[in-house]
RNA sequence: GCGCCCGUAGCUCAGCUGGAUAGAGCAACGGACUUCUAAUCCGUAGGCCACAGGUUCGAAUCCUGUCGGGCGUACCA
């Protein structure tokens, strides 16, 4: 539709030049936009204003010339017979506004019914191989609310990119190596000793949650009471492995219940086992990207935009987290991804530059690496801050939220705001299943329409509640109907914008907007009109709305209920 | 100090690849169910878009600075 208008303007400008009413043949990129106000028509172009300096002419005058050219040509027709542009006019400082005939919009409905689940999809991704890595929480405790936000953002970005034609793989990086795992093992081991009757001072830097005690108990049950007599180093290793496995299984289950799925789970330990990390360090050493100083090995990140160089191997011989991350990211590109997207909590933002530096140092381009920084979730209870700490064992888990609020409401709330902004998540508010919860507003549209379609089938107006061809669409001429179709038409654009900017909340905003337009229409006009032809036309429209709502909700991982 | 994010209606936030009269939800007030689901709708009220400069025909949007809030700034992860 937009291109159609664009062509009209381009043709008119060329024609005006040929007829020498416009002095310059230079035609800049023509921008056509949907108007904000209906009084400004359906589309407008600022062409006259942007080209004013080139043509050395007042915008108003250029606009006038263009309009005459448009009117003179037989532009405005698609197949030469139907006139789709009803009116063209100059407005304001030089905008050219286009008013389309209603019938220009009617084919949109058919298009949706035919494309069905594919409506809104596109190929802007050109099948580019993209990896989205998200959550990647350490398996040292259950997922909490903050992880939930990262989880839905990553999951939805994955769905949206797929829908927009990217070849997407979703991955979870398991930090199953390093100090935090040893701490986990120690925590469990100490609780186990306490349970076995030993007096132990439980250190502050150990994990204190009740789940640690439960794990200790399970180990005792499984290995018997003799376990507490074991050699400490060996026992801690067993505890660590056992606990990490159990916790990871819990994480997987919680994510599944939250509707979040992964194509692959990647183990950090595997980077050590395969000697991949070692090889990566050697490789960079031979390229003089890693050097030795003060007994430690440093990566020359400063040369690639970081504030300073960073340690990869400490002077005690242990590798840093950064070291395995370098190897991991290098490995991702070697697996064939053109582009890698990491979803991180905002508290890790200082880490971006050094990873980016390591990627550029590997000979890749900075544009091939994106980080979605998800701002922190501000947990409230009845409007008051609610502090959480994994170490202290005081937190609200993701599971708690999903159990109490439900998957749909939780996901929808997490995606309701741009991830660039902090999110207030009020536990009491989220638990409410009333109209304050926007998810019901959108889902209600889907359920309402299903109700109408079922009734229509019962009354034999339609033979099925799902059909692929609209009927009597030219009867759709109410302003609310045209407005609804315009919004339906904008779905694909919104998906594309969401994919390009990696902002899933664009889909949220779109759905709220569509839902609002539908509810307004529903209250004003009866779909099942006595006029059977009109009823069929409206049923077609309403079915199209239903399909778009479903497609949108699917991208956010929220269900579209038939009944509420 | 330096870096990243944010500052828009009483509250929570959209709008930010520059466009015409800055939007929505909640809260407030007034209306609409014998009619397809009132988990809905319609109306009223509410704004120096933090502040100051700059670029531009045009700035909530881009640039610079100031102020305020959040988060970072390890041979931690």
State the nucleotide closest to A138 in CA–C1' terms.
Answer: B77
> Using the CA of A378, which nucleotide's C1' is the nearest one?
B70
Distance of CA A332 to the CA centre of its chain: 21
- Would you say A301 and A310 are in contact if contact means Cβ atoms under 8 Å apart? yes
Task: Say how far A438 CA is from B31 C1', in Å.
Answer: 24
CA A39-A41-A44 angle, to 5 degrees, is 120
For residues A11 and A120, membership in a common domain is answered with no
Both structure tokens of A119: 């409506």
Give me the CA A166–C1' B59 separation in Å, rounded: 35
Q: How far is CA A274 from CA A270, A271, A280, A331, in A?
A: 6, 5, 11, 12
Which parts of A256-322 are beta strand (E)?
Answer: 264-267, 290-293, 296-299, 310-313
CATH code of the domain covering residue A113:
1.10.730.10
CA distance A250 to A265: 14
Where do the H-state alpha helices sit in A418-561? 427-431, 438-458, 479-489, 491-501, 505-524, 532-555
Which nucleotide does the CA of A324 lie closest to, via C1'?
A: B77
CB count in 10 Å sphere of residue A27: 16
Residue A34, both tokens = 């949907």
Same domain for A120 and A205? no
Among A207, A238, A257, the domain-final residue is: A257
pLDDT in tens, A365-377: 999 999 999 998 8
Q: Determine the distance between A244 (CA) and B55 (C1') in angstroms.
A: 57
Do A548 and A527 share a structural domain?
Answer: yes
A78 found inside a domain: yes
C-alpha dihedral, A152 to A158 to A162 to A167, nearest 10°: -160
Q: What are phi and psi of A536, to 5 degrees?
A: -65, -40
A97's enclosing H/E stretch is strand A95-100
CA→C1' distance for A536 and B42 (Å):
27
Looking at residue A80, what is its pLDDT?
45
* Whether residue A84 sits in one domain with residue A192: no
pLDDT of A388? 56
Sheet with strand A167-174: strands edge to edge: A264-267, A167-174, A129-133, A339-345, A369-374
Query: Measured in angstroms, what separates residue A516's CA from nucleotide B39's C1'?
Result: 13
Of all nucleotides, the one whose C1′ comes closest to residue A309's CA is: B75
Q: What are the two backbone dihedrals, phi and then psi, of residue A98, each rounded to the nearest 5 degrees?
A: -115, 130
Q: Which nucleotide is nearest to A375 (CA to C1')?
A: B5
* pLDDT for the residue A389: 54
Residue A419 lies in a domain: no
Give me the pLDDT at residue A93, please: 83
> What are the phi and psi torsion angles at A129 (to 5°)?
-80, 115
Distance A397 CA to B38 C1' (A): 35
List beta partners, residue A144: A397
Confidence (pLDDT) at A14: 84
Q: Do A448 and A550 sit in the same domain of this protein?
A: yes
Q: How far is the CA of A356 from the C1' of B54 (A)?
A: 33
Q: How many CA atoms lie within 13 A of A379 on its CB side?
A: 17
Ramachandran quadrant class, A394 (left: phi over 0; alpha: psi -120 to 50; beta: rest): beta
Q: How many angstroms separate the CA of A425 from the C1' of B66?
A: 32
Q: Are A416 and A504 in contact (CB under 8 A)?
A: no
Residue nearest to nucleotide B19 (CA to C1'): A46
Question: Shortest CA–C1' contact from A444: which nucleotide?
Answer: B39
CATH number of the domain where residue A52 is located: 3.30.1360.70
Closest CA-bearing residue to C1' of B4: A349
Contact (Cβ atoms closer than 8 angstroms) between residue A507 and residue A418: no
* Helix, strand, coil % in chain A, rounded to nearest 5: 55, 15, 30
| Residues A46 and A116 both lie in one domain | no
**Residue where one domain finishes, among candidates A101, A136, A158:** A101
d(CA A413, CA A153): 11
The H or E element containing residue A340 is: strand A339-345
Same domain (yes/no): A186, A240? yes
Residue nearest to nucleotide B5 (CA to C1'): A420
Q: Specify the number of domains making up chain A.
A: 3
Quick check: is A472 in a domain? yes
Nucleotide nearest to A480 (CA to C1'): B41
A551 DSSP assignment: H
Q: Where are the beta strands (DSSP E) in A346-440?
A: 369-374, 377-381, 384-385, 423-426
Q: Which amino acid residue lies closest to nucleotide B38, measuring CA to C1'?
A: A523
Last residue within a domain, chosen from A225, A257, A289: A257
Q: Decide if A336 is inside a domain.
A: no
Do A26 and A116 belong to one domain?
Answer: no
Å from A180 (CA) to B76 (C1')?
9
pLDDT value at position A17?
83
Using 50 as the pLDDT threshold, list the residues of chain A that sit under it: 75-81
CB distance A149 to A106 below 8 Å: no
Give chain B positions with protein CB within 7 A.
2-7, 12-15, 17, 19-21, 23-27, 32, 35-42, 57, 69-77
Q: Does A491 share its domain with A511?
A: yes
Nucleotide nearest to A421 (CA to C1'): B6
- Nucleotide whose C1' lies closest to the alpha carbon of residue A45: B19
Task: Find the helix or strand (DSSP H, E) in which A342 lies.
Answer: strand A339-345
Say what the pLDDT of residue A81 is: 41
A419, closest nucleotide (Cα–C1'): B5
**Cβ–Cβ < 8 Å for A495, A120:** yes
Q: Are residues A113 and A75 in the same domain?
A: no
Is residue A555 within 8 A of residue A504, CB to CB? The reply is: yes
By the 10 Å C-beta count (0-12 exposed, 13-18 middle, 19+ buried), A79 is classed as: exposed
A162 inside domain: no
Tell me which protein residue sits closest to nucleotide B33, measuring alpha carbon to C1': A523
Give me the pLDDT at residue A76, please.
47
Which residues have CB under 8 Å from A31's CB, separation 6+?
A: A45, A46, A47, A50
**Separation in Å: B31 C1' and A542 CA:** 28
pLDDT (tens digit per residue) in A7-51: 888 888 888 888 878 877 777 778 888 888 888 899 999 988 888
CA–C1' A86–B4 (A): 50
- In a domain, residue A278? The reply is no
Task: Determine the distance between A369 (CA) and B50 (C1') in angstroms.
Answer: 34
Give the pLDDT score at A78: 47
Give the Cβ contact number of residue A289 at 10 Å.
21
Residue with smallest Cα–C1' gap to B6: A421
Residue A324 contacts residue A354 (beta carbons within 8 Å):
no
Q: How far is the CA of A262 from the C1' of B76 (A)?
A: 28
Whether A161 is covered by a domain: the verdict is no
Distance CA A42, CA A37 (A): 8
Q: Are A379 and A148 in contact (CB under 8 A)?
A: no
Of how many residues is chain A composed?
564
Residues A97 and A111 grouped into a single domain: no
Residue A351 lies in a domain: no
Domain of residue A8 covers: 2-101
A94 and A116 housed in the same domain: no
- Give the three-class secondary structure for A318: coil
User: Which pLDDT value is given to residue A387?
Assistant: 60
Give the pTM: 0.94
Rounded to the nearest 10°, the torsion over CA A253, A255, A257, A262 is: -100
């Amino acid at each position: 539709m937009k291109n159609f208008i664009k062509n009209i303007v381009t043709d008119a400008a060329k024609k005006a030049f040929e007829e020498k009413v416009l002095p310059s043949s230079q035609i800049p990129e023509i921008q056509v936009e949907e108007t904000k106000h209906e009084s400004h028509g359906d589309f407008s172009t600022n062409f006259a204003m942007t080209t004013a300096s080139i043509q050395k002419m007042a915008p108003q005058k250029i606009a006038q010339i263009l309009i005459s050219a448009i009117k003179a040509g037989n532009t405005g027709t698609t197949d030469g017979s139907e006139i789709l542009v009803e009116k063209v006019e100059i407005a304001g400082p030089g905008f050219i506004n286009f008013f389309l005939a209603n019938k220009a919009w009617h084919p949109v409905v058919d298009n949706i019914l035919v494309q069905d689940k594919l409506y809104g999809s596109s190929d802007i991704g050109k099948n580019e191989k993209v990896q989205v890595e998200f959550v990647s929480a350490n398996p040292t405790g259950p997922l909490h609310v903050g992880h939930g936000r990262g989880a839905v953002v990553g999951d939805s970005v994955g769905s949206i990119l797929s829908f927009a034609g990217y070849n997407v793989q979703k991955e979870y990086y398991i930090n199953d190596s390093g100090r935090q795992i040893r701490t986990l093992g120690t925590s469990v081991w100490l609780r186990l000793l306490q349970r076995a009757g030993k007096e132990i001072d439980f250190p502050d830097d150990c994990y204190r949650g009740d789940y640690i005690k439960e794990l200790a108990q399970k180990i005792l049950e499984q290995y018997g009471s003799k376990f507490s007599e074991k050699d400490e180093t060996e026992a801690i290793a067993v505890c660590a492995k056992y606990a990490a496995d159990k916790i990871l299984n819990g994480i997987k289950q919680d994510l599944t219940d939250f509707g979040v799925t992964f194509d692959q789970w990647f183990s950090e330990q595997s980077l050590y086992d395969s000697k991949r990390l070692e090889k990566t360090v050697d490789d960079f050493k031979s390229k003089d990207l890693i050097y030795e100083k003060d007994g430690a090995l440093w990566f020359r990140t400063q040369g690639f935009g970081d504030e300073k160089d960073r340690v990869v191997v400490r002077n005690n011989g242990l590798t840093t987290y950064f070291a395995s991350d370098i190897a991991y990211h290098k490995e991702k590109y070697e697996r064939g991804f053109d582009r890698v997207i990491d979803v991180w909590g905002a508290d890790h933002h200082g880490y971006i530059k050094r990873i980016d530096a390591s990627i550029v140092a590997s000979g890749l381009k900075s544009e091939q690496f994106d980080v979605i920084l998800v701002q922190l979730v501000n947990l409230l209870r009845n409007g008051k801050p609610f502090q959480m700490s994994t170490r202290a064992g005081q937190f609200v888990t993701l599971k708690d939220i999903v159990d109490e609020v439900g998957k749909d409401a939780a996901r929808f709330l997490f995606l309701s705001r741009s991830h660039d902004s902090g999110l207030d998540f009020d536990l009491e508010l989220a638990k409410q299943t009333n109209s304050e919860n926007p998810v019901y507003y959108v889902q209600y549209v889907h359920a309402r329409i299903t109700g109408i379609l079922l009734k229509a089938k019962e009354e034999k107006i339609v033979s099925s509640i799902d059909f692929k061809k609209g009927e009597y669409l030219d009867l759709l001429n109410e302003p609310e109907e045209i407005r609804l179709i315009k919004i339906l038409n904008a779905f694909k654009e919104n998906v594309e914008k969401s994919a390009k900017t990696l902002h899933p909340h664009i889909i949220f905003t779109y759905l709220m907007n569509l839902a609002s337009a539908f509810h307004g229409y529903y209250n004003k006009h009866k779909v099942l009109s006595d006029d059977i032809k009109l009823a069929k036309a409206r049923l077609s429209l309403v079915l199209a709305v239903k399909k778009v709502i479903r497609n949108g909700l699917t991208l956010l991982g929220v269900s579209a209920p038939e009944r509420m």
